[in-house]
Amino acid sequence: MSPRELGFIGLGVMGYPMALNLLKKLDEGARLHVYDVDERALKKFEQEAPTKVHVCANAREVAKSSTILFTIVPEGRHVRSVYLDERAGVLTTSIDDKILVDCSTIDTATSMDVGEAVRQNSKTAAFYDAPVSGGSLGAAAGTLTFMLGCAEDDPKFTLLNELLSAMGSSIFPCGGFSLGLTAKLCNNYCSGLIAIATAEAMNIGIKSGMNPALLAKVFATSTAQSTINDKWNPVPGVCPNAPASKGYHGGFKVQLMKKDFALAVEAADRVGAQLELGVSGLKVYQEASEDDRCRDLDSRVVFRYIGGEEDWEAKLTTRQ
Ligand code: NAD
């Protein structure tokens, strides 16, 4: 890869493996400047390749040291802090000619505010929204989907495509600024509702005496087919590798789904898109996030939230 000085801020569940993949693809002599508020994450990352990694004291130092900077932090307030903090934010140093790429899933209003602040600060800097899909497994495997907020003919797309390909296998220029976030929020709204619908439908089947593993096979070749059904089935024991079959551990936390779902409902409100399922879906994810039986677990734990029969196998055997 051509740029020699790259920056990465946010070494969490997603950022750490993403930055690691970027590190592996760096040209000889190139460096990755990193920062996270969590010092343990920084120390651990430095040990991955001490000669290639430069640990910075704050976001400002990362921005100063690099020409292209990636950020991935939890929410809009964290993105504001990284870019706009008056003492140590990215915009407290010269950002001329730099490319700034935010991969966090946040509200489009915050992203637009940061984009505007970047434009006010420098005529030659560029700021992009580039949220990801694929979870921690996709981040580790380098197979993430990137939804990039730019047009296909954006002059920086070729370079961005090359860099993002170190971390992902599908890079979509979504048409213009903030449309990457729009694509991400629409995706999570849809997949969040499919998870609830699949959980409810499976539960009707189980309570009627049907084996859910068989029901999932029926769905797979019928009109209820979905990735949620086939790979992330909410019913324990249906997909052996899905979080549901591992006590709902791993996967995409229910609180993150609540955040994204709420952002999608907000976006719908802002653009005047009618939602019939938004209020009900949001209630499910809000309540599941606050429920001790579900909190911190994979979002497909909605099956547990609706009182789904998790011990269906034992009950089915008794019935036979
Ligand atoms: P995480 O909480 O594991 O990691 C976030 C990291 O950002 C942490 O290491 C934290 O210390 C750091 N951080 C927070 N504020 C900071 C600041 N001001 N400066 C520097 N570092 C700061 O979160 P995650 O799961 O990696 O998610 C990050 C983003 O990616 C979120 O917006 C999330 O919605 C999105 N996302 C997550 C997944 C997933 O499966 N976890 C999938 C797709 C998208």
**The residue type at 243:** P
CB 13 near ligand 1, within 6 Å: yes
- Which of 73, 75, 87, 106 is the best mutation target for the ligand 1 pocket, counting ligand atoms within 8 Å of the beta carbon and taking the most? 73
Q: Is 181 touching ligand 1 by the criterion CB < 6 Å? A: no
CATH architecture of 5-176: 3-Layer(aba) Sandwich (3.40)
Confidence of residue 136 (pLDDT cuts 50, 70, 90): confident
pLDDT in tens, 191-245: 999 999 999 999 999 999 999 999 999 999 999 999 999 999 999 999 999 999 9
Decide whether any atom of ligand 1 lies within 6 Å of the 135 Cβ. Answer: yes
Q: Name the β-bridge partners of 144.
A: 168
Closest ligand 1 atom to residue 260 Cα is: 34
In the predicted model, is pLDDT for residue 318 greater than 80?
A: no
Distance CA 83, CA 100 (A): 10
Task: Report how far ligand 1's centroid is from the alpha carbon of 15 (Å).
Answer: 7
Ligand 1 atom 20: residue of nearest CA: 36
Return the residue matching tokens 């730019």: 150
Q: How confident is the model at residue 141 (pLDDT cuts 50, 70, 90)?
A: very high
Ligand 1 atom nearest the C-alpha of 133 is: 43
Is residue 1 scored above 80 in pLDDT? no
**Strand stretches in the chain, DSSP E:** 5-9, 31-35, 53-55, 68-71, 99-102, 126-129, 132-133, 144-148, 168-173
| CA of residue 209 to ligand 1 center, whole Å | 42
The CATH 1.10.1040.10 portion of the chain extends over 182-319
Residues of the chain with CATH 3.40.50.720: 5-176
| Mean pLDDT, range 254-283, rounded to an integer | 97
The CB-based long-range contact list for 274-277 (8 Å cut-off, 24+ gap) reads 277/193
Looking at the CA of residue 105, tell me the nearest atom of ligand 1. 32
Per-residue pLDDT at 272: 98
Cα atoms in the Cβ-side hemisphere of radius 13 Å centred on 186: 10
| 184 given a catalytic annotation | yes
The residue annotated as part of the active site, out of 64, 98, 184, 253, is: 184
pLDDT tens digits along 99-120: 999 999 999 999 999 999 999 9
| Residues in CB range of 162: below 8 A, 6 or more apart | 1, 2
Report residue 316's pLDDT band, with 50, 70 and 90 as the boundaries.
confident
What is the crossing angle of helices 179-207 and 212-220, to 10°? 130
**Does the pLDDT at position 149 exceed 70?**
yes
169 Cβ below 6 A of ligand 1: no
> Does ligand 1 lie within 6 Å of residue 104's CB atom?
yes
Question: pLDDT tens digits, residue range 23-74?
Answer: 999 999 999 999 999 999 999 999 999 999 999 999 999 999 999 999 999 9
pLDDT confidence tier of residue 319, bands split at 50, 70 and 90? low
Is the CB–ligand 1 distance for residue 97 below 6 Å? no
Atom of ligand 1 at shortest range from CA of 104: 32
For every residue of 134-162, DSSP letters joined together read SHHHHHHHT-EEEEESS-TT-TTHHHHHH
Structural Rg of the chain based on CA atoms: 21
Mutate to test the pocket of ligand 1, among 9, 18, 36, 132 (most ligand atoms within 8 A of CB): 36
Q: Closest Cα to atom 15, ligand 1: which residue?
A: 78
CATH number assigned to the domain with residue range 182-319, chosen from the 4 options 1.10.3210.10, 3.40.630.10, 1.10.1040.10, 1.10.3720.10: 1.10.1040.10
> Ligand 1: does its nearest atom lie under 6 Å from the Cβ of 3?
no
Q: Is the CB of 41 under 6 A from ligand 1?
A: yes
Q: What is the pLDDT of residue 190?
A: 98
pTM to 2 decimals? 0.93
Longest dimension (CA), the chain: 72
